[in-house]
Amino acid sequence: MHNFGYRSGHYCVENVPVHEISESCATPFYCYSRTAIETAYDAYANAFSKHDTLICYAVKANSNQAVISILAARGSGADVVSEGELRRALLAGIPASKIVYSGVAKTVPEIEFALNNDILLFNVESEPELQQINSVAVRLGKIARIAFRINPDIDAGTHEKISTGKSENKFGIPWQAARAAYADAAKLPGIEVRGIDIHIGSQIMKLGPFEQAFERIADLVGQLRADGHTITSIDLGGGLGINYNTESDLAPTAEQYAALVLKHLGRLDCRLIFEPGRSIVGNSGVLVSQVIYVKHGSKSTFLIIDAAMNDFLRPSMYNAYHHIVGEKDSGGEDVLYDVVGPVCETGDTFARSRKLGKQEAGDLVIVEGAGAYGAVMASTYNTRRLVPEVLVEKDGFRIVRPRPDYDSIIGMDTP
């Protein structure tokens, strides 16, 4: 987490102390570092600078318009999984020619919208979806460029809820059925086959599963070409893990990942597409929250903070570990806390028996590594207002999504 840490005893994002931000934006709020996002993107771009590559940021990791526009300005494309995300990417300035559309079940209106905007590619996940895209394209008098998402049946060794490349997962065409699927696609008038696609999971911490998948893809490209198909792009999805626990995690770097990719697929004369999400924004953001009460239970001390599971779902949904630190540098004098939110569910727990500096009501705490799958998964459960987002740019900050007022939530309903 470069760009995040203590300066003169206070926690800062770039050059801005978070306690200053909390004076203009009430807690809880997400806080992102522009420099961190740019640095993470550049690591990919530099690692692949010698190869024809398109980096399509996976918008679902963090879809704030400010975040997408930072990446658009860097030359990034986008990987989208819904019409809403496609609209976000276009509005943030990503050209349609750099947008790929993934996802297991694109609907007819979504396919129409994507075709009318002339996106680069659909990543097709099933035979029925192929037929649907073809018929919409024929009806609109257009040609849909596609790649098939292949399920390589590989265990990415990640959390079961974010593993996607095993045969029992709902994603993609089984690799054994790939040649038949391409043969069918070649017969369809509204379809132009361009390439092949995989995405085997998220938060992958070892290169081994990637290597197995790349070998399988290299074989398939050879077979498909021998069958007469033109394969000019290989989309390798996202999934590279990040270090949530800086003491124990050791994710592969973009350079190590790139070396492996190029070793297996560099010679195939294809454009390489990547869809990183978490590894661009995950360690580019934190969640800032305030201690409401310190409660002494019979077994542990609870730090009850004003952020809850509806604001940040990862700890309760995936049992995810996140560093939690106090706004004031404790200088190593730590106390054990159970850090919990105010929602009436035991799942509303951010950490158990966690060491951090002694806190009092009103103090700020920071949940680190919250830039990916944080704000995008937030809800208004408990009629709590949607958590705001702040972007720091060197010495300044701006609120890039304000907290809505109660009327805009309750007023949506019809009594």
Ligand X SMILES: *Cc1c(COP(=O)(O)O)cnc(C)c1O
Please identify every residue annotated as catalytic.
344
**Residue among 149 and 229 whose Cβ is closer to ligand X:** 149
In angstroms, give the least distance from the CB of 233 to ligand X.
Answer: 15
Q: For ligand X, which residue of 14, 129, 153, 275 counts as binding (CB under 6 A)?
A: 275
The contact pattern for ligand X, residues 58-77, with x = CB under 6 A and - = no contact, is: x-xx----------------
Q: For ligand X, which residue of 165, 238, 369, 388 counts as binding (CB under 6 A)?
A: 238
Give the torsion sign (CA, 68, 45, 150, 136).
positive
Q: For ligand X, which residue of 28, 77, 195, 276 counts as binding (CB under 6 A)?
A: 276
Q: Can you say how many angstroms the Cα of residue 288 is from the centroid of all Cα atoms in its chain?
A: 20
- Does position 270 interact with ligand X (CB under 6 A)? The reply is no
**Residue among 340 and 378 whose Cβ is closer to ligand X:** 378
Q: For ligand X, which residue of 3, 163, 279, 283 counts as binding (CB under 6 A)?
A: 279
- Does position 195 interact with ligand X (CB under 6 A)? The reply is no
Distance CA 367, CA 361 (A): 17
Distance CA 401, CA 386 (A): 9
- Tell me which amino acid residue 193 is: V
Q: For ligand X, which residue of 98, 106, 145, 278 counts as binding (CB under 6 A)?
A: 278
In angstroms, give the least distance from the CB of 328 to ligand X.
Answer: 32
Distance CA 335, CA 349 (A): 17
Joined together, the tokens standing for residue 168 give: 């029992």
**Residue among 22 and 202 whose Cβ is closer to ligand X:** 202
Binding to ligand X in span 126-145, by CB under 6 A: none
- Does position 125 interact with ligand X (CB under 6 A)? The reply is no
**Cross-sheet strand order for the sheet of 16-17:** 4-7, 10-13, 16-17
The contact pattern for ligand X, residues 372-391, with x = CB under 6 A and - = no contact, is: x-------------------
Left if phi > 0, otherwise alpha if psi is -120 to 50, otherwise beta: which for 380? alpha
**Residue among 88 and 199 whose Cβ is closer to ligand X:** 199
- Does position 194 interact with ligand X (CB under 6 A)? The reply is no
Residue 45's nearest CA partner among 279, 370, 391, 284 is 279
In angstroms, give the least distance from the CB of 86 to ligand X.
Answer: 14
Span of 225-233, 243-251, 272-280, 331-339 interacting with ligand X by CB under 6 A: 272-280
- Does position 102 interact with ligand X (CB under 6 A)? The reply is yes
In angstroms, give the least distance from the CB of 78 to ligand X.
Answer: 11
In angstroms, give the least distance from the CB of 162 to ligand X.
Answer: 7
**Residue among 102 and 359 whose Cβ is closer to ligand X:** 102
- Does position 327 interact with ligand X (CB under 6 A)? The reply is no
**Residue among 224 and 254 whose Cβ is closer to ligand X:** 254
Q: For ligand X, which residue of 14, 79, 153, 348 counts as binding (CB under 6 A)?
A: 79
Span of 12-20, 275-283, 330-338, 396-404 interacting with ligand X by CB under 6 A: 275-283
Q: For ligand X, which residue of 77, 190, 237, 315 counts as binding (CB under 6 A)?
A: 237
**Residue among 152 and 238 whose Cβ is closer to ligand X:** 238
Question: Hunting for tokens 């069918």 — which residue is that?
Answer: 184
Rule CB under 6 A: which residues touch ligand X? 58, 60-61, 79, 102, 199, 202, 237-239, 275-279, 372
